[in-house]
């Protein structure tokens, strides 16, 4: 009789943890937002900071797997070395609100760029002091006029002056692991 509760518990845990991870396919953006990352491939993205940007249309990875799409999530593979960048093919010229969910992994030190600002993701440090390795967090980058506001978990962690009038949204794989999903934009 003791074995039945154990089997039931193990079966429940297996079902819970072996199911698909919530990626773009299971996500509906908030009203007014559209997806920048479809969770299937890198449509709408290109390589950046290279002599000639390479379109990533239809591809599921860039830079030999440094960036790759896995189960609806954009994964930075730290085993592939390099200080590498991808960016949207779309330029943002006016007020814009970008939201994404991220999970910082071991030794994470990666960045997001928009309108002349850089946002570092280093768990437990500065603006990401409340971010814990392995937990999902939501980042918002809100550009209104000449002001850029960065929020993590709904809390404003930095406000700064916007730079260039026209920029793409850029992701930098610098060090360590990070996973990103549900990248969405409201213009």
Query: Is there a domain that residue 139 lies in?
Result: yes
pLDDT in tens, 115-174: 999 999 999 999 999 999 999 999 999 999 999 999 999 999 999 999 978 899 999 999
φ, ψ of residue 125 in degrees (nearest 5): -125, 135
For 134, which DSSP code? T
Tokens representing 49 are: 């900071």
Query: Is there a domain that residue 156 lies in?
Result: yes
> pTM for this structure?
0.86
Band (26; pLDDT cuts 50, 70, 90): confident
Q: Round to whole Å and give the CA distance between 92 and 33.
A: 14
Tokens representing 102 are: 């991220």
Of the chain, the percentage scoring pLDDT greater than 90 comes to 83
Query: Is there a domain that residue 35 lies in?
Result: yes
Tokens representing 116 are: 């002349």
Query: Is there a domain that residue 16 lies in?
Result: no
Query: Is there a domain that residue 25 lies in?
Result: yes
Query: Is there a domain that residue 127 lies in?
Result: yes
Contact criterion met (CB below 8 Å) for 115 and 98: no
CATH of the domain at 51: 2.60.120.560
State how far Cα 149 lies from the chain centre: 17
Q: Which positions ≥6 away from 124 have C-beta within 8 Å?
A: 131, 132
Contact criterion met (CB below 8 Å) for 185 and 98: yes
- Domain span at residue 112 reads 21-186
Q: Give the HSE-up count for residue 10: Cα atoms under 13 Å, Cβ half-sphere.
A: 5
Query: Is there a domain that residue 49 lies in?
Result: yes
Q: Quickly tell me which residue has 């030190």 as its tokens.
A: 109
Query: Is there a domain that residue 131 lies in?
Result: yes
Ranges 6-15, 84-93, 154-163: which has the least confidence:
6-15
Q: How many domains does the chain have?
A: 1
């Amino acid at each position: 009789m003791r074995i039945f509760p154990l089997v039931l518990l193990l079966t429940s845990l297996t079902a819970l943890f072996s199911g698909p991870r919530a990626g773009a396919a299971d996500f509906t953006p908030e009203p007014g937002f559209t997806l920048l990352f479809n969770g299937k491939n890198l449509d709408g993205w290109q390589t950046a900071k290279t002599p000639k940007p390479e379109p990533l249309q239809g591809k599921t990875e860039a830079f030999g797997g440094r960036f790759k799409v896995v189960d609806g999530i954009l994964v930075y593979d730290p085993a592939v070395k390099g200080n590498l960048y991808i960016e949207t093919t779309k330029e943002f010229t006016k007020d814009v609100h970008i939201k994404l969910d991220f999970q910082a992994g071991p030794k994470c030190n990666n960045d997001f760029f928009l309108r002349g600002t850089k946002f570092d993701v280093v768990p437990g440090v500065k603006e990401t002091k409340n971010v814990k390795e392995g937990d999902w967090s939501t980042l918002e980058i809100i550009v209104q006029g000449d002001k850029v506001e960065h929020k993590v978990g709904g809390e404003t962690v930095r406000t700064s002056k916007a730079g260039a009038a026209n920029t793409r949204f850029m992701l930098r794989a610098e060090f360590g692991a990070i996973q990103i999903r549900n990248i969405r934009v409201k213009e």
